[in-house]
Chains A and B, each alone.
Chain A
Amino acid sequence: MQNFTLLVATDFSQGSEVLLKKALHFAEKISCNPSCCSYS
């Protein structure tokens, strides 16, 4: 299993909430086991 570090750059302008939600969804999607997907 490979580590994959996703860095999200946000300027907190309009649409940032969507960006972070999409990033979270993407991280879960590419993870081998989304339920134990590590954010720590």
Chain B
Amino acid sequence: MQRKFHATLHVVHILETNFFQKSKSLEEVKERCWEIAHTYCPILEKKHFYCVEGEVEKSINVVANTIGANMLMIGDNKEKHPLEAIFVGSDTKAIIKKSSMPVFVTKSHEIHNYLTILIPTDLSKDSAVMIHHIAELFPDALLLLLHLYSVPFEFRLGMYGFNELEIMNFHEESRHAAETQLNLFMKTLKIPLKQLVPIVRKELLSSERFEENHKDLNADLVAIHTTGNISFFAFDLLEKSKNDVLIYKIHHTNKVHHGD
């Protein structure tokens, strides 16, 4: 499938100057940072490397807005030494909260092609906006649209006097309703159906067992938006996931920026 983007890579490092000794000039530190970045990524051009002083999340956002970034990519800072994590203070959640664009959080060390992307959806318009954007970015990927449902009063149906057959029917109706809702939602998307895989599962939205419960889907990326019911779940999942996570903050007045 034809790709539509002309990608440009930029790198930013924020210096929190409080922690530098006065004997070391900032220019020296910045030059050293550039050398390391260039070693890791030789194709990177110096004019696209920004080493700026300031508060981490605020400064990242300023750079991102200045260059008109479409997406921010960050690592998982859990790997830091605990003391460093405290001092550096570049809390992943704070960066995401401050960011006005999608944030890609790399959690795994493997390089993936992202051919299977798991997208928990609440069938909302926000979710649709995100799914469209992901389909554009990853035209070769299968998008697994996961819609979770629960059976109302599931554990009280017996107590309320329903017999086994009636409870079974109730379960079946709930499942059928969830499948119908997901199929209707898919039809509203302007994405080829062969790229979408509808998955309906009876489960409460919980980050605790999310990865374990859906590991059979073999997704190499989880994409979530942070509005509505998904919001708390998104940040919780981010902490627990071993997969890379793509987080979209959808603003009703400011839809996902697709580029020029």
Contact = CB atoms under 8 A, between A and B. Distances in A.
Interface of A: 1-33, 37-40
A29 B113 contact: yes
A6 B3 contact: no
B6 A15 contact: no
10 contacts: A1-B5, A8-B10, A12-B13, A15-B109, A16-B75, A18-B109, A20-B11, A26-B73, A30-B138, A38-B8
B106 A2 contact: no
A31 to B, nearest CB: 4
B7 A18 contact: no
A32 B3 CA distance: 4
Contact of B6 (A1, A12, A14, A19): A1
A33 B80 CA distance: 36
B14 A24 contact: no
Interface SS, A side: mixed
B79 A6 contact: no
Given A3-B260, A10-B37, A12-B36, A19 B74 contact: yes
B73 A2 contact: no
Interface of B: 2-14, 33, 36-37, 40-41, 43-45, 47-48, 56, 60, 63-64, 67-77, 79-80, 84, 88, 90, 95, 104, 106, 109, 111, 113-114, 137-138, 244, 258-260
Given A9-B11, A11-B88, 16 more contacts: A1-B5, A8-B74, A9-B60, A9-B73, A11-B56, A12-B33, A13-B79, A13-B84, A22-B73, A27-B8, A31-B7, A32-B5, A38-B7, A39-B43, A39-B45, A39-B48
B25 to A, nearest CB: 18
Contacts of B76: 15
Contacts of B44: 20, 39
A3 B259 contact: yes
B7 A4 contact: yes
Contacts of A29: 113-114, 138
A9 B74 contact: yes
A21 B67 CA distance: 21
Given A30-B137, A32-B3, A17 B90 contact: no
Contacts of B77: 11, 13
Contact of B260 (A2, A30, A31, A39): A2
A18 B198 CA distance: 32
Nearest to B60: A9
Contacts of A20: 11, 37, 40-41, 44
B6 A32 contact: yes
B84 A7 contact: no
Contact of A5 (B36, B37, B67, B74): B67
A40 B72 contact: no
A22 B112 CA distance: 8
